[in-house]
């Protein structure tokens, strides 16, 4: 599918929740054509589209208090990524959690995005 058409369809059909966190269309302008969800996913991961950095202690603490007050989820993500406790701080935990949540939002939209490719083939 031509990228311009895909960008337009994504903006019309993909959840605002995802686009407000990561506007995935920003990462597509340099690609001529994308033909599947997997190709889209590869482009986004190659360009670190889901790497969200939360800087400043106060912003990180605020984000963690709102999304993971017990730190259970963020510490689990850090552990899975090989971080040791002495290397962790609130900014790393918040950034890892925000990045993980952005990926989850993207995967929640997988069927909607796949439908866009299916409709284009018809």
Q: Where are the domains of the chain?
A: 3-121
> Does pLDDT of 54 surpass 90?
yes
Going by pLDDT thresholds of 50, 70 and 90, the confidence category of residue 1 is low
Mean pLDDT in residue range 23-51? 87
Residue range 108-117, pLDDT digits in tens: 889 888 888 8
**pTM given for the model:** 0.85
Mean pLDDT in residue range 20-26? 84
Q: What is the DSSP string of the chain?
A: -BHHHHHHHHHHHS-HHHHHH--GGGGSTT-SB--SHHHHHHHHHHTTTT-----SHHHHHHHHHHH-TT-HHHHHHHHHTT--GGG--HHHHHHHHHHHHHHHHHHHTHHHHHHHHHHHH-
């Amino acid at each position: 599918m031509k990228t311009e058409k895909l960008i337009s369809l994504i903006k019309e059909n993909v959840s605002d929740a995802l686009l407000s966190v990561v506007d995935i269309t920003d990462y597509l302008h340099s690609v001529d054509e994308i033909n599947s969800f997997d190709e889209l996913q590869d482009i986004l991961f190659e360009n670190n589209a889901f790497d969200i950095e939360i800087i400043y202690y106060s912003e990180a603490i605020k984000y963690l208090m709102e999304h993971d007050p017990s730190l259970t989820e963020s510490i689990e993500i850090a552990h899975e990524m090989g971080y040791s406790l002495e290397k962790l701080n609130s900014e790393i935990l918040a950034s890892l959690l925000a990045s993980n949540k952005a990926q989850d939002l993207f995967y929640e939209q997988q069927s909607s995005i796949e439908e866009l490719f299916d409709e284009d083939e018809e």
